[in-house]
Amino acid sequence: MNAGFQSGKPWRTLWMLFRRQHRDLIMGELFYLLKASPVWVIPIVTANIIDAASQPKADGLRCVWINAAIGAVMIIQNIPTGMLYGRFTSRAIRGMETSLRSALVRRLQLLSIGYHQRRGGGSLQTKVLRDVESLEQMSRQLIDAGTFAVVSVVVALVVTALRMPAFVPGGSWLISGMPREGWQVPPWWRTQAGMIGLALTVLSTFAVFSILRDRLRIRAMAGIDPLTSLPNRRVAMSRLQQLVVRGRRTQRAFAVFSIDLDDFKPINDAHGHAAGDAVLAAIGQRLRQSIRGNDLIARVGGDEFLLLLDDPSVGSEERLLAYAQRLRKVLLDPIRIGEQELRVGASIGVALFPRDGHDAVALLREADDAMYRAKRGQHDGVHFASAAS
Between 204 and 242, the more confident residue is 242
d(CA 279, CA 261): 11
Write the pLDDT tens digit of every residue in 340-387: 888 888 999 999 988 888 899 999 999 999 998 888 875 678 999 875
First-residue to last-residue Cα distance in the chain = 37
Q: Give the residue among 284, 286, 299 at the shortest CA–CA distance from 237.
A: 299
CB 143 within 8 A of CB 93: yes
DSSP letter assigned to residue 1: -
CB 212 within 8 A of CB 43: no
Mean pLDDT over 76-82 rounds to 82
With residues binned 3-state (H G I as helix, E B as strand, rest as coil), the percentages for the chain, rounded to 5, are 65, 10, 25
Mean pLDDT over 43-58 rounds to 71
CB 93 within 8 A of CB 141: no
pTM of the model: 0.51
pLDDT for residue 232 is more than 80: yes
Q: Could you tell me the pLDDT band of residue 167, with boundaries at 50, 70 and 90?
A: very low
- The structural domains of the chain, ordered by start, are 10-164+191-221 (no CATH), 233-384 (3.30.70.270)
pLDDT for residue 308 is more than 90: yes
Q: What is the C-alpha R_g of the chain?
A: 29
The torsion angles phi and psi of 335, rounded to 5 degrees, stand at -110, 125
Between 209 and 128, the more confident residue is 209
Mean pLDDT over 163-191 rounds to 57
d(CA 205, CA 343): 52
Burial level of 237, CB count in 10 A (0-12/13-18/19+)? middle
